[in-house]
Amino acid sequence: MTDGYQIQLEDVFEGPMDLLLHLIKKNEVDIYDIPIALITRQYLGYLEWMKAMNIEFAGDFIVMAATLAQIKSRMLLPAYDGQEEDDEDPRNAISRPLIEYLQMKNAAQQLANRDLLGDKIFVRSPSPQTSAFAIEEKEIHVGLFELIDAFRKILDDVSGEHRVDLHTERISVKERINEIIDILEKKGSVAFEELFVERRHRADIIVTFLAVLEMVKLSLLRITQHVQTGVIRMFYQ
């Protein structure tokens, strides 16, 4: 069903560092004490899933997978006599770049959240007192991998009798994009799960997800997640 239609991951959201950060956050582990075997297994699982969905990813993801596998191998090697106890932790090869990437990403996000006055000129951020009232209703940007998690839950709920042949195309991605645009033009915004309520066939569900990714690629959607409820909402822009 998805043959002939592919989403280029680098044109949509994020890269291998973002996937690692997502897994660290999801598993609630310390970035300085990464359970490398668990993270490597889950990382490879995401790549296999995206490949099955015809979501193409850049070679950087493969390089990261090889790096994780190498670190895992080094950690499995037995210590030999005379080995220095203070030898560097192999996981530092990934934790250090992750921390640097996270710092740069946070800095970029802070700049992006400021009002732009002119070229490279930003206003000062509001004080905590002036913005405290908005905390309860705070929404955060949703990345690709949060979206994938939400979609996989929906896909897992599809009953066995609806698991149709994936090569039987019921609706095209382009047609589904037009349908989603019509929905958003009428409602202004829609919860992610709402797009799948009336489409319980597995093939239609996958096409809907690919349509959402394509719309993000074309900058047609803004996707946020409510901090308290976890509800993912999409806005037409």
Mean pLDDT in residue range 130-157: 72
Which domains, and CATH codes, for the chain? 1-78+89-125 (no CATH), 137-237 (1.10.10.580)
Looking at residue 29, what DSSP letter applies?
Answer: -
Give 161-179 pLDDT, tens digit per residue.
Answer: 444 444 455 788 899 999 9
Q: What is the bridge-based pairing of β-strands 116-118 and 55-56?
A: unpaired
Range scoring the smallest mean pLDDT among 1-10, 47-56, 225-234 = 1-10
pLDDT band at 130 (very low <50, low <70, confident <90, very high): very low
Distances (CA, A) of 126 to 114, 134, 226: 9, 12, 21
Quote the tokens at residue 11. Answer: 């044109």
The half-sphere exposure of 8 on its side-chain side, counting CA atoms within 13 A, is 6
Tell the residue number behind the tokens 């709402």, with chain if given. Answer: 194
Q: Which residue has the higher pLDDT, 105 or 233?
A: 233
Distances (CA, A) of 193 to 154, 161, 205: 8, 21, 11
> Which helix (H) or strand (E) is 200 found in, with range?
none
CB 67 within 8 A of CB 16: no
Global pTM value:
0.73
User: How many angstroms separate the CA atoms of 91 and 39, rounded?
Assistant: 12
CB 34 within 8 A of CB 60: no
